[in-house]
Amino acid sequence: GDSVTQMEGPVTLSEEAFLTINCTYTATGYPSLFWYVQYPGEGLQLLLKATKADDKGSNKGFEATYRKETTSFHLEKGSVQVSDSAVYFCALSDQGYSTLTFGKGTMLLVSP
């Protein structure tokens, strides 16, 4: 079945550092790929998405490119802020009823 693997956390960075969170996936079809973010005490919210190979999703300075050849969707940001501290989930959705398969999540901690 479908699966998503993310790098383990926590990832600890200083403000303005470069961020990469790795995500790879296994899927039988041609999934859409998502990054969701969960701030402390809140539900998940969509950060960005990409629906086909070589698409780049971007939002709030975060970017991720759908790489079919490496089955990856790594999340990057050039300069993180303290307010980016959260848990980041990589997910995929198959061609069915938009059900999502999630990775385990990566906690990001940014210090001033």
Partner 1 sequence: NAGVTQTPKFRILKIGQSMTLQCTQDMNHNYMYWYRQDPGMGLKLIYYSVGAGITDKGEVPNGYNVSRSTTEDFPLRLELAAPSQTSVYFCASSYSRQGSQETQYFGPGTRLLVL
Residues that bind partner 1 (CB under 8 A): 4, 31-32, 34, 36, 41-46, 49, 51, 89, 91, 93-105
Smallest separation, CB 81 to partner 1 (Å): 23
Taking the complex as a whole, the smallest distance from the CB of residue 102 to partner 1 amounts, in Å, to 3
Please list, residue by residue across 28-62, b when 16 or more beta carbons sit within 10 angstroms of its beta carbon and e when fewer do. eeebbbbbbbbeeeeebeebbbbeeeeeebeeeeb
**Nearer Cβ to partner 1 (29/112):** 29
CA distances from 78 to 15, 20, 64 (A): 11, 9, 12
Nearer to partner 1, 17 or 22 (CB): 22
